[in-house]
């Protein structure tokens, strides 16, 4: 007994034939490079804010103002914001691609993800660099002690 | 497949056939990702990653309130000092600690010549280092939250 079964030709080798930038490769590299930087940056962030001094109970407007009036912490928080949010966004993009099979739903979720990331990056960057540690008319009890010399 | 089709024909023509006993179901070898340490590190990396992502969204927004007024920022940061949120911060730091250490393990698997061979051992190293960090952090943090 013989049977004729039509088989598809073997798949062509999975060599990359598309031209242009390999964004998936750069995304993969970004996760590892930013990951190493974030281990150091977030460890420092948690150490200064949650471990040194009185930990979480020391955090208030004056504490943040004291940090953000120093260019070192402005740039520290700037890199923390951009590296972490893009790292998290790329991770969520991977998860959406893994679990959402419907193309239209996937596009909607990816669009929502991208727009929330852009909004938060712009908002966070503006907050870091336009922040006034001693706002005019603020309650002197609530602002940093150095504001007494300015107000 | 022709071999299967003739095999079925042969089976009907003979009375007894020696068939090897079916093998016990085992998790396939040669994979980093299915079963045991490889899979569970992946599952935990995903879950902690998603949790940290959603916290980050909230954290950028609550910190942005420093641009609104001292009163607005102090009101929202006060929520972080309550007992329930204090315990939540232990969970958050635990999630970040695991994601960070396991992320370094992933990088070593990818770039270190013998990384794949030691991935299981590295997973247990991740757990031990994570435990040491949490033992260092948790009592001090809980004293800051509950100590008044």
pLDDT tier, A9 (very low <50, low <70, confident <90, very high otherwise): low
**CA–CA dist B27, B101 (Å, integer):** 26
Are B96 and A46 in contact by the 8 Å Cβ rule? The answer is yes
Write the CATH number for A123: 1.20.1300.10
Distance, first Cα to last Cα, chain A: 99
Cα Rg of chain B (Å, integer): 26
- The pLDDT value recorded for residue B34 is 67
Domain presence at residue B24:
no
* B141 CA: distance to closest CA in chain A (Å): 7
Q: CA separation (Å) from A73 to A45, A142, B59, B99, B144?
A: 10, 20, 17, 24, 23
Domain presence at residue B89:
yes
**CA–CA dist A4, A71 (Å, integer):** 75
Q: Phi and psi dihedrals of A131, rounded to 5?
A: -65, 135
**Residues of the domain holding B113:** 33-146
Determine whether the interchain pair B104/A55 forms a contact, defined as Cβ–Cβ distance below 8 Å.
no
Greater confidence (A138 vs B117) lies with: B117
Domain presence at residue A7:
no
- The pLDDT value recorded for residue A83 is 97
Determine whether the interchain pair B73/A91 forms a contact, defined as Cβ–Cβ distance below 8 Å.
no
Q: Phi and psi dihedrals of B93, rounded to 5?
A: -65, -35
* B25 CA: distance to closest CA in chain A (Å): 27
Domain presence at residue B131:
yes
From the list B6, B73, B80, the residue facing A56 with the nearest CB is B80
Domain presence at residue B16:
no
Domain presence at residue B84:
yes
Chain B contacts of A142, Cβ < 8 Å? 70-71, 74
* Number of domains chain A is built from: 1
Domain presence at residue B27:
no
Chain B touched by A68 (CB under 8 Å): yes
Determine whether the interchain pair A131/B5 forms a contact, defined as Cβ–Cβ distance below 8 Å.
no
Domain presence at residue A124:
yes
Write the CATH number for B57: 1.20.1300.10
pLDDT tier, A16 (very low <50, low <70, confident <90, very high otherwise): low
Domain presence at residue B55:
yes
Chain B contacts of A123, Cβ < 8 Å? 60-61, 64
Domain presence at residue B13:
no
DSSP codes joined into one string, B54-106: HHHHHHHHHHHGGGT-HHHHHHHHHHTTSHHHHHHHHHHHHHHHHHHHHHHHH
A63: nearest Cα among B88, B63, B148: B63
In tens digits, chain B (148 residues) has pLDDT values of 344 444 444 445 557 788 887 777 665 555 556 678 888 999 999 999 999 999 999 999 999 999 998 999 999 999 999 999 999 999 999 999 999 999 999 999 999 999 889 999 999 999 999 999 999 999 999 999 988 5
Chain B contacts of A69, Cβ < 8 Å? none
**Residues of the domain holding A118:** 24-149
Which of A33-42, A119-128, B10-19, B107-116 has the weakest average pLDDT? B10-19
What b/e sequence results for B135-148 when a residue is b if at least 16 CB atoms lie within 10 Å of its CB, and e otherwise? eebeeebbebbeee
What is chain B's length? Answer: 148
* Number of domains chain B is built from: 1
For residues A58-80, average pLDDT = 93
pLDDT tier, A5 (very low <50, low <70, confident <90, very high otherwise): confident
- pLDDT, chain A, mean: 89
């Amino acid at each position: 007994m013989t049977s004729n079964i039509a088989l598809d030709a073997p798949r062509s080798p999975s060599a990359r034939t598309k031209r242009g930038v390999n964004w998936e490769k750069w995304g993969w590299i970004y996760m590892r490079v930013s990951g190493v930087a974030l281990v150091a940056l977030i460890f420092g962030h948690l150490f200064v804010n949650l471990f040194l001094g009185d930990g979480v109970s020391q955090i208030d407007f004056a504490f943040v103002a004291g940090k953000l009036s120093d260019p070192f912490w402005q740039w520290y928080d700037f890199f923390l914001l951009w590296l972490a949010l893009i790292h998290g966004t790329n991770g969520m993009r991977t998860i959406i691609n893994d679990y959402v099979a419907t193309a239209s739903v996937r596009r909607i979720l990816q669009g929502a993800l991208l727009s929330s990331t852009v909004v938060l990056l712009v908002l966070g960057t503006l907050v870091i660099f336009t922040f006034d540690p001693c706002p005019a008319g603020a309650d002197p009890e609530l602002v940093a002690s150095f504001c007494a010399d300015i107000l | 497949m022709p071999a299967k089709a003739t095999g079925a024909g042969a089976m009907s023509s003979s009375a007894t056939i020696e068939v090897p006993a079916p093998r016990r179901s085992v998790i396939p070898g040669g994979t980093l990702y299915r079963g045991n340490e490889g899979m569970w590190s992946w599952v935990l990396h995903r879950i902690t990653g998603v949790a940290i992502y959603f916290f980050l969204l909230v954290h950028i927004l609550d910190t942005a309130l420093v641009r609104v007024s001292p009163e607005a920022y102090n009101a929202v940061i006060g929520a972080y000092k309550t007992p329930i949120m204090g315990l939540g911060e232990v969970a958050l730091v635990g999630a970040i600690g695991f994601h960070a250490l396991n992320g370094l393990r992933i990088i070593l698997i990818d770039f270190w010549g013998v990384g794949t061979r030691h991935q299981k051992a590295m997973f247990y190293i991740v757990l031990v280092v994570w435990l040491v960090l949490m033992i260092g952090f948790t009592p001090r943090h809980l004293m800051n939250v509950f100590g008044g």
